[in-house]
């Protein structure tokens, strides 16, 4: 979608009150007004208990419909409330992407005994004990659901790793043994083989598993009328399976069905390889760019802004990069905490929202604030301005002025439908300016900074250039004075 904006519609520490779906209904009008074109919902399947964020998935077919794990609702609400929300989103011509967690299962109904071998947590290819019988939580029967939607039952054959032996109380990483068993090979090579992440690890090489997950995905999309998936933890999922899975989805629902993957690796070569291995059917969260933002925000103004897009997917493949500043994994209190410092956050959002490359994602926690022990304030007013500039004005060709380490800028020249020019300047040290060409026919026009960060007014000179400035450690977004956002 032209100048689309994805909104990650949740943060990690939302309250466990079951009101999320109802609360989101009240936010849709303002999200539509600011220019949001797709909303990424949290994992909506039943987890291990009512406060499970959905990343500990128990029953993929239970969307808040069955009394399982001590609750009918999920953390976010009931299935009926979910459907009501999705319908309301679609009424506003906004797409819906669901977060999908297919790497592991959690909260098994029963334990089973099977042969396994303990491996080195730092190199999962190395066995550190002799094979032995262990007892793992691998039986998933979903009795309360009574085979509604699917009669598939999971057992130890459908998994290849667990982290606990019920027989001995021993903790660690155990690789399940058996015919054609082993770690999947087409996964991240961190820790030797990063197939195992957590809980009970799904074996994506098992033919019954592959068919069941494809069957579930069809049901899930049809049941909720989804427009796309955000796939969790894909560097731990066999890329051969992912290629088969995404090809199946595209064949069933068309090439416009959007698939976004969380490949949490800042190594650009690894991202490039993954894109190729999955035949470019999956867009990737631009983790490298996020870490650039994080580093710049902690640099004390000593980051070379000319390199801000180095090692970023958006520089490698502009159509397969979902650019983001922060998300639920990077927010304070999380294991991957790398939260961009407040002074740089508006700058970072300007860098993803006002340029022509990438598909920008705004984080719920940056817009409304985050909860938990390390709560943060949102920046709704600032993001509204940047998003509306993108929605209404930031179009057309782009000229970059990346000339100094602490000072960069660019001009968007507009198109036939969006004729206004947008000039952006970022300074991470003192107040500075850049002389930039705005375009023919601009002589004498007066430009203002619509962020409100700089109160100067800029008059375009006789050569159609403006001396556009930014205050210390800030971004300025210059449009013709009087333009309506």
Domain ranges of the chain: 6-102+207-392, 105-202, 398-480
Q: What is the pLDDT of residue 146?
A: 96
**Cα 91 to Cα 250: distance, rounded to the nearest angstrom:** 24
**Cα 78 to Cα 83: distance, rounded to the nearest angstrom:** 9
Q: What mean pLDDT value characterizes the chain?
A: 97
99, 262, 329, 449: the catalytic one is 262
Render pLDDT for 176-220 as a digit per residue (tens, 0 to 9). Answer: 999 889 999 999 999 999 999 999 999 999 999 999 999 999 999
109, 232, 449, 471: the catalytic one is 232
The 3-class SS string of 192-248 reads CCCCCCCCEEECCCCHHHHHHHHHHHHHHHHHHCCCEEEECCHHHCCHHHHHHHHHH
pLDDT at residue 93 is higher than 80: yes
| 232 catalytic per annotation | yes
State whether residue 296 is helix, strand or coil: helix
Residue 441 CA: distances (Å) to CA of 164, 418, 458: 70, 15, 15
State whether residue 256 is helix, strand or coil: coil
Residue 385 CA: distances (Å) to CA of 89, 194, 248, 373: 22, 41, 40, 29
**Cα 329 to Cα 332: distance, rounded to the nearest angstrom:** 9
Give the residue from 297, 480, 285 showing the smallest Cα distance to 389: 480
pTM for the whole thing? 0.96
- Looking at the domain that runs over 105-202, which CATH code has it been given? 2.40.30.140
**Cα 55 to Cα 18: distance, rounded to the nearest angstrom:** 16
Tell which phi-psi region holds residue 452, choosing left (phi > 0), alpha (psi between -120 and 50) or beta.
left
Residues in the chain, overall count? 485
Q: What is the pLDDT of residue 22?
A: 98
Render pLDDT for 370-415 as a digit per residue (tens, 0 to 9). Answer: 999 999 999 999 999 999 999 999 999 999 999 999 999 999 999 9
Q: How confident is the model at residue 1 (pLDDT cuts 50, 70, 90)?
A: low
Q: What is the pLDDT of residue 2?
A: 84
Burial bucket for residue 367 (CB in 10 Å: 0-12, 13-18, 19+): buried
**Cα 281 to Cα 272: distance, rounded to the nearest angstrom:** 13
State whether residue 59 is helix, strand or coil: strand
pLDDT at residue 299 is higher than 70: yes
**Cα 386 to Cα 394: distance, rounded to the nearest angstrom:** 10
Residue 284 CA: distances (Å) to CA of 229, 335, 424: 12, 20, 26
**Cα 406 to Cα 137: distance, rounded to the nearest angstrom:** 54
Q: Which residues contact 426 (CB under 8 A, 6 or more apart)?
A: 305, 347, 350, 351, 407, 408, 409, 470, 474, 475, 476
Q: How confident is the model at residue 236 (pLDDT cuts 50, 70, 90)?
A: very high
Q: What is the pLDDT of residue 220?
A: 98
Q: Which residues contact 123 (CB under 8 A, 6 or more apart)?
A: 191, 192
Phi/psi at 452 (5° precision): 80, 5
* Superfamily per CATH, domain 6-102+207-392: Glycosidases (3.20.20.80)
Render pLDDT for 281-290 as a digit per residue (tens, 0 to 9). Answer: 999 999 999 9
| 310 catalytic per annotation | no
In this structure, whether the domain defined by 398-480 belongs to CATH 3.90.1150.10 is answered with no
317, two tokens: 């493949």
Report DSSP state, residue 340. P
322, two tokens: 């979902």
Phi/psi at 380 (5° precision): -55, -45
| Topology match between the domains 105-202 and 398-480 | no
Beta-bridge mates of residue 71:
68
Write b or e for each residue in 204-233: b if 16 or more Cβ atoms lie within 10 A of its Cβ, otherwise e. bbbeebbebbbebbeebbeebebbbbbbbb
The 3-class SS string of 343-370 reads HHHHHHHHHHHCCCCCEEEEEHHHHHCE
Tell which phi-psi region holds residue 107, choosing left (phi > 0), alpha (psi between -120 and 50) or beta.
left
**Cα 477 to Cα 460: distance, rounded to the nearest angstrom:** 15
**Cα 86 to Cα 68: distance, rounded to the nearest angstrom:** 23
Render pLDDT for 144-183 as a digit per residue (tens, 0 to 9). Answer: 999 999 999 999 999 999 999 999 999 999 999 998 899 9
């Amino acid at each position: 979608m032209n100048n689309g904006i994805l909104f990650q519609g949740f943060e990690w520490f939302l309250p466990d009150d079951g009101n999320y779906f109802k609360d989101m209904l009240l936010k849709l009008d303002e999200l539509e007004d600011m220019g949001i074109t797709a909303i990424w919902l949290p994992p909506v399947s039943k987890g291990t208990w009512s406060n499970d964020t959905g990343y500990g998935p128990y029953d993929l077919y239970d969307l808040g419909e069955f009394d399982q794990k001590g609750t009918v609702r999920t953390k976010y609400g009931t299935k009926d409330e979910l459907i009501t929300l999705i319908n309301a989103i679609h009424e506003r011509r906004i797409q819906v992407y669901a977060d999908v967690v297919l790497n592991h299962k959690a909260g098994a109904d029963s334990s089973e005994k099977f042969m396994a071998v303990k491996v080195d947590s730092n190199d999962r290819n190395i066995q550190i004990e002799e094979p032995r019988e262990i007892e793992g939580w691998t039986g998933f029967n979903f009795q309360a659901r009574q085979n509604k939607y699917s009669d598939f039952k999971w057992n130890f054959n459908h998994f290849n790793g667990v982290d606990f032996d019920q027989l001995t109380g021993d903790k660690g990483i155990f690789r399940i043994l058996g015919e054609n068993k082993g770690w999947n090979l087409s996964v991240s090579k961190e820790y030797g083989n990063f197939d195992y992440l957590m809980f009970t690890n799904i074996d994506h090489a098992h033919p019954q598993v592959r068919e069941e997950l494809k069957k579930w995905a069809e049901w899930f999309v049809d049941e909720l009328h989804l427009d796309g998936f955000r796939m969790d933890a894909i560097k731990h999922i066999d890329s051969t399976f992912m290629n088969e899975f995404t090809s199946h989805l595209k064949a069933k629902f068309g090439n416009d069905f959007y698939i976004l993957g969380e490949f949490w690796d800042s190594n650009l070569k690894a991202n490039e390889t993954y894109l190729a291995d999955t035949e470019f059917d999956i867009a990737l969260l631009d983790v490298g760019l996020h870490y650039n933002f994080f580093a710049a925000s902690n640099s004390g103004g000593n980051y070379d802004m000319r390199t801000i897009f180095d090692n970023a997917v958006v520089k490698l493949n502009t159509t397969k990069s979902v650019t983001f500043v922060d998300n639920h994994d990077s927010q304070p209190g999380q294991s991957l905490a790398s939260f961009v410092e407040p002074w740089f956050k508006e700058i970072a959002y300007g860098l993803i929202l006002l340029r022509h490359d990438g598909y920008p994602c705004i984080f719920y926690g940056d817009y409304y604030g985050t909860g938990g022990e390390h709560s943060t304030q949102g920046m709704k007013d600032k993001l509204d301005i940047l998003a509306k500039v993108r929605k209404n004005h930031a179009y057309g060709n782009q000229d970059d002025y990346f000339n100094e380490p602490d000072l960069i800028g660019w001009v968007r020249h507009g198109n036939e439908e969006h004729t206004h020019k947008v000039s952006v300047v970022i300074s991470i040290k003192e107040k500075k300016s850049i002389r930039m060409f705005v375009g023919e026919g601009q002589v004498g026009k007066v430009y203002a900074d619509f962020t409100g960060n700089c109160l100067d007014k800029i008059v375009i000179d006789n050569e159609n250039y403006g001396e556009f400035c930014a205050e210390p450690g800030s971004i300025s977004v210059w449009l013709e004075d009087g333009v309506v956002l």
